[in-house]
Amino acid sequence: MSDILIEARGLKKRYGANMAVDGIDLTVKRGEIFGLLGPNGAGKTTTILMLIGLTEADGGTISVCGADPMRDPLAVKSRVAYLPDMVGFYDNLSARDNLRYTGRLAGIANAELDARIERAMARVRLAEVIDSKVATYSRGMRQRLGLAEILMKGAEVAILDEPTNGLDPQSTFELLEMIRTLRDDGMAIMLSSHILDRVQAICDRVALFSKGRIAIEGTVRELAAQVLGGGHVLQVDSDFDPQALAALFSGLDGVSSVTEEAPGRLRVLSLHDMRNAVAQAMVKAGATILRLAEVEPSLDEIYRRYFEGLHGKA
Amino acid sequence: MARRSGSPFKGSGIVFAKEFSDHLRSPRMLVLEWLILLTGIGAVFMAIQGLRTTTASDPFLFLRLFTDAREGMPSFLAVLAFLIPLMAIGLGFDSINGEFNRRTMSRVLAQPIYRDALLLGKFGGALATLAVGLLTLWLLIIGLGLFRLGVPPSGEEVGRGLVFLSIAVAYGAVWLSVAMLCSVVCRSPATAALAALGVWLLLSLIWPLIARFIADIVYPPTELALLLGIPNPQQIEFQQLLARFSPSTLFGEAVVGMLQPATRTFGVVFANQVQGAVAGAPLSFSQSLQLVWPQFTGLLASAILVFAASYMSFQRQEVRA
pTM for this prediction: 0.87
Q: Do A102 and B111 touch (CB under 8 A)?
A: yes
Residue B79 pLDDT class (50, 70, 90 cuts): confident
Q: Do A101 and B113 touch (CB under 8 A)?
A: no
ipTM for the whole predicted complex goes beyond 0.95: no
pLDDT one-digit tens code per residue, B142-157: 888 888 887 788 889 9
Closest chain A residue to B118, measured at CA: A105
Residue B304 pLDDT class (50, 70, 90 cuts): very high
Q: Do B113 and A105 touch (CB under 8 A)?
A: yes
Looking at every residue in chain A, the average pLDDT score rounds to 88
Task: Answer yes or no: is pLDDT of A120 > 70.
Answer: yes
What distance lies between CA A267 and its chain's CA centroid? 26
Q: CB neighbours (10 Å) of residue B86?
A: 16
Q: Do B110 and A88 touch (CB under 8 A)?
A: no
Task: Answer yes or no: is pLDDT of B4 > 70.
Answer: no
Task: Answer yes or no: is pLDDT of A83 > 90.
Answer: yes
Task: Answer yes or no: is pLDDT of A237 > 50.
Answer: yes
Closest chain B residue to A89, measured at CA: B104
Sheet holding A80-83, edge to edge: A80-83, A157-161, A188-193, A33-37, A205-210, A213-218
Residue A71: predicted pLDDT = 87
Give the span between the Cα atoms of A287 and B292, in whole angstroms.
103
CB contact A54 to B (< 8 Å)? yes
Looking at every residue in chain B, the average pLDDT score rounds to 87
Residue B1 pLDDT class (50, 70, 90 cuts): very low
CB contact B6 to A (< 8 Å)? yes
Under 8 Å CB-to-CB from B296, ≥6 apart: which residues? B166, B167, B170, B254
CB contact A41 to B (< 8 Å)? no
- Which residues on B lie below 8 Å from A74 (Cβ)? 5-6, 10, 112-114
Give the span between the Cα atoms of B206 and B228, in whole angstroms.
28
- Which residues on A lie below 8 Å from B18 (Cβ)? 101
Residue A314: predicted pLDDT = 43
Which of A204-218, B16-30, B67-81, B99-113 comes out lowest in average pLDDT?
B67-81
CB contact A154 to B (< 8 Å)? no
Closest chain A residue to B121, measured at CA: A105
Give the span between the Cα atoms of A37 and A282, in whole angstroms.
38
Give the span between the Cα atoms of A215 and A227, in whole angstroms.
11
Which of A78-92, A114-128, B3-17, B198-212 comes out lowest in average pLDDT?
B3-17
Task: Answer yes or no: is pLDDT of A185 > 90.
Answer: no
Give the span between the Cα atoms of B275 and B268, in whole angstroms.
14
Which of A270, A238, A243 lies closest to A257 in space, CA to CA?
A270
3-state secondary structure of B149: helix
Alpha carbon separation from B104 to A95, B98, B99 (Å, rounded): 13, 9, 5
Residue A165: predicted pLDDT = 85
Residue B37: predicted pLDDT = 83
- Which residues on B lie below 8 Å from A106 (Cβ)? 111-112
Could you please report the per-residue DSSP string of chain A?
--SEEEEEEEEEEEETTEEEEEEEEEEEETT-EEEEE--TTSSHHHHHHHHTTSS--SEEEEEETTB-TTT-HHHHHHHEEEE-TT----TTSBHHHHHHHHHHHTT--HHHHHHHHHHHHHHTT-GGGTTSBGGG--HHHHHHHHHHHHHHHT-SEEEEESTTTT--HHHHHHHHHHHHHHHHTT-EEEEEES-HHHHHHH-SEEEEEETTEEEEEE-HHHHHHHHTS-SEEEEEE-SS-HHHHHHHHHTSTTEEEEEEEETTEEEEEESS--HHHHHHHHHHHT---SEEEEEPPPHHHHHHHHHHHHHHH-
Q: Do B113 and A74 touch (CB under 8 A)?
A: yes
Residue A90 pLDDT class (50, 70, 90 cuts): very high
Under 8 Å CB-to-CB from A252, ≥6 apart: which residues? A270, A274, A277, A278, A281
For A157, list phi and psi in degrees, rounded to 5: -125, 135
Name the minimum distance, in Å, from the CA of B24 to any CA of chain A. Answer: 13
Q: Do A102 and B318 touch (CB under 8 A)?
A: no
Which of B131, B115, B119, B221 lies closest to B173 in space, CA to CA?
B131
- Which residues on B lie below 8 Å from A54 (Cβ)? 106, 109-110, 319
Mean pLDDT, residues A200-204 taken together: 84
Residue B207: predicted pLDDT = 92
Residue B55 pLDDT class (50, 70, 90 cuts): low
CB contact B4 to A (< 8 Å)? yes
Residue B85 pLDDT class (50, 70, 90 cuts): very high
Residue B282: predicted pLDDT = 84
Residue A2: predicted pLDDT = 64
pLDDT one-digit tens code per residue, B163-197: 999 999 999 999 999 999 999 999 999 999 999 99
Identify whether the C-beta of residue A282 lies closer than 8 Å to the C-beta of residue A234. Answer: no
pLDDT one-digit tens code per residue, A44-67: 999 999 999 888 889 899 999 989
Residue B121: predicted pLDDT = 95
Q: What distance separates the 2 farthest-apart alpha carbons in chain A?
A: 74
Q: Which residues, numbered 114 to 153 in chain B, qualify as contacts with chain A under a Cβ-Cβ cut-off of 8 Å? A: 114
Residue A243 pLDDT class (50, 70, 90 cuts): confident
CB pairs under 8 A between A and B: 89
pLDDT one-digit tens code per residue, A121-147: 999 999 999 999 999 999 999 999 999
Q: Do B4 and A54 touch (CB under 8 A)?
A: no
Q: Do B14 and A105 touch (CB under 8 A)?
A: yes
Task: Answer yes or no: is pLDDT of B278 > 90.
Answer: no
Alpha carbon separation from B58 to A219, B30, B154 (Å, rounded): 89, 36, 12
Question: Which member of B5, B22, B113 has the closest CB to residue A72?
Answer: B5
Mean pLDDT, residues A84-93 taken together: 91
